[in-house]
Amino acid sequence: MTQDTSSPDPRKLKPAVIMAAEILGLLLEAIRQEFSAGRWGAFETAKGFLEGPCGRWVARAASSAREAADNDDEELNNRLRGAFLDLERAFRSVVRLMQEEKRCRRDEVCAGAQLASTSSHEQNLKDVRDVLNSIAPALMEPGLRQLQDLAEAPEPPEGSRVAHPAVRLAGLLLLDAGRRGASDVLVVPGSWCSLVQYRLSGVLVPIVELSLPYHRALAARCKVLAGLDMGARMRVQDGQTRAEEDCPRAIIRVLPTVHGERLDIHLEGPPKSIQVPRELGFSDQDLGRYQRRLEAQAGLIIHAGLSGTGKRTALLAALAHVSQQNRSAFALLSRPAQDIAGVSVTIAGQDRAALFRGILERKPDAIAVDDLSGQEIMREALAAAAGGILVLGSLPGDGAVAALRGLFDMGLAPDLLRRGLSAICAHRLPRRLCSCRKLAAPRPEELEALGVRAEASVGRPIGCPACLHTGFRGVTPLFELLVAGENLKPLLKADVPDKEWLKAAQADGMTPFRESLTKLVVEGATSYGEARRVGLGV
């Protein structure tokens, strides 16, 4: 078998990546020191960005390149690609910062200010540009390069009939984000530039920066796509684009800010069928416990979790399961959902409790309410559950025991809770490691936090083009299913500590999030850092 010599040896690229990171790091430190000495004027507006994302990108690139194993070509290549991506972002940011500083300092110099010379910085930037250009053919992703080049394309002259490059960029962003599985595209204007980010598996990933004039052109194009008022720049607006081939339909929301119009673009993927409980990701044990509660004649089942953790999906899956049992089912939802055969759906306004009482007059077997956060509607739901109706609902909360404490904080009567509450199903969505992951021995702090043996292995994110160099791809649903069983029910009193509730819930069969997250880390499904992000150790 002949060896492919078309791709350069990544070991020869590694020193160049490290050198570029070191030059950029020294440049950022020099600018910080000059700022501290008061030798920069208008740079005040960029201080937060320099100490925030720009500095983090350079530090992460240097660390990733140095830690890359020379004996593993695939890992080395992926790490260098990720480092190059961070260095490109940081380099373009500093170039734009220098351009903005030049523009702003003219007035200050005319006013007699003694400002630092930037000639040495410009030489350092030239050195970084030369290094990055030399390794770009081997490390740059064509898709991202196209977005970045388009974002820096010159604007057409005034009066020209040539379309602004932002017209094409708007379509490419939606197409690229959809192909990568992003749920949202955020375009956030700052004091001197605008940052475009994708939301991937719940986490924001920076993609490209725009000048503010370019940002205004992109905002105008997005307004056209969504049918919004072009002239209204100080008003909150939202609209929808049309679904086109290969390009998902998008909900575009515009919010005026002090630096311009912020764009929040939610991508609606292809319609998904309503799931059933067995498709949600429950363990075999929890699936059986959950379905027994779901098939009971009465009781309140609460789905608790932070925004975006799958509460509504689980609620609709439970409702679909109930509707298949020849039971009279109703739903009180804040926004429309896909039709579920046999379920009557009402869109709720302000007075949920009144609508709930109206549904009770129809003698339902089951009712689903997607927001039980008010005291009145929660009391109505518990009373209905205690009276012989199956009630399904959702509630903001971070853990089953925390949600239970929230019920008592609402001032609900303990006796009503003991009679009406059936179960609380808490949700979390840790990101799943991409297939480019690396298994390694746990660090000392990981051994202590996880409570595992030293010979265990844990997964570490690496990053590759498939996961946009984040190291993660997709999510793994986790559940904490607390049932009001024989051990917990007698303890449903406001003065009982949370630790006692947790102990009783575990005796009734609940697996706490800590245990589930530890298992995912040891299995290599997620990383220790991701487990901490979603609540390991809380």
CATH code (residue 230): 3.30.450.90
Question: How many other C-beta atoms lie within 10 A of the C-beta of residue 181?
Answer: 15
192-211: average pLDDT: 91
Q: Can you tell me whether residue 257 is helix, strand or coil?
A: strand
* 172-191 pLDDT per residue, tens: 999 999 999 999 999 999 88
Q: Which of 528, 498, 469 is nearest to 81 (CA)?
A: 469
> Do residues 222 and 303 share a domain?
no
Q: For residue 112, is pLDDT > 70? A: no
Q: What is the pTM assigned to this prediction?
A: 0.85
As a whole number of angstroms, the distance between CA 449 and CA 528 comes to: 9
As a whole number of angstroms, the distance between CA 199 and CA 178 comes to: 11
Residue count of the chain, please give it. 538
Buried b (16+ CB within 10 A) or exposed e, 462-472: bbbbebbbbbb
Q: Can you tell me whether residue 440 is helix, strand or coil?
A: strand
**pLDDT at residue 107, rounded to an integer:** 54
| 317 contact partners, CB below 8 Å, separation of at least 6 | 274, 275, 276, 277, 279, 280
| 398 contact partners, CB below 8 Å, separation of at least 6 | 304, 305, 306, 426, 535, 538
| 1 contact partners, CB below 8 Å, separation of at least 6 | none
pLDDT band, residue 331 (cuts 50/70/90): very high
- The amino acid present at 176, given as its one-letter code, is D
> Do residues 288 and 307 share a domain?
yes
> Do residues 314 and 367 share a domain?
yes
Give the number of domains in the chain: 4
| β-strand partners of 482 | 424
Mean residue pLDDT across the chain: 88
**pLDDT at residue 50, rounded to an integer:** 63
The answer to whether 438 touches 462, Cβ cutoff 8 Å, is yes
**pLDDT at residue 276, rounded to an integer:** 84
> Do residues 385 and 502 share a domain?
yes
pLDDT band, residue 326 (cuts 50/70/90): confident
> Do residues 376 and 517 share a domain?
no
Residue range(s) defining the domain that contains residue 245: 141-154+163-269
Tokens of 211: 């000048």
The answer to whether 54 touches 90, Cβ cutoff 8 Å, is yes
> Do residues 236 and 372 share a domain?
no
> Do residues 377 and 441 share a domain?
no
| β-strand partners of 260 | 257
The DSSP 8-state label assigned to residue 13 in this structure reads H
> Do residues 448 and 423 share a domain?
no
285-308: average pLDDT: 94
> Do residues 406 and 492 share a domain?
yes
The answer to whether 318 touches 392, Cβ cutoff 8 Å, is yes
> Do residues 231 and 114 share a domain?
no
**pLDDT at residue 44, rounded to an integer:** 57
| β-strand partners of 332 | 346, 369
**pLDDT at residue 144, rounded to an integer:** 86
As a whole number of angstroms, the distance between CA 113 and CA 38 comes to: 10
The answer to whether 28 touches 58, Cβ cutoff 8 Å, is yes
> Do residues 364 and 439 share a domain?
no
> Do residues 373 and 482 share a domain?
yes
Residue 284: CA count within 13 A, CB half-sphere: 0
Query: In angstroms, how far is CA 84 from the centroid of its own chain?
Result: 23
CATH code for the domain in which residue 502 is found:
3.40.50.300
Q: Can you tell me whether residue 522 is helix, strand or coil?
A: helix
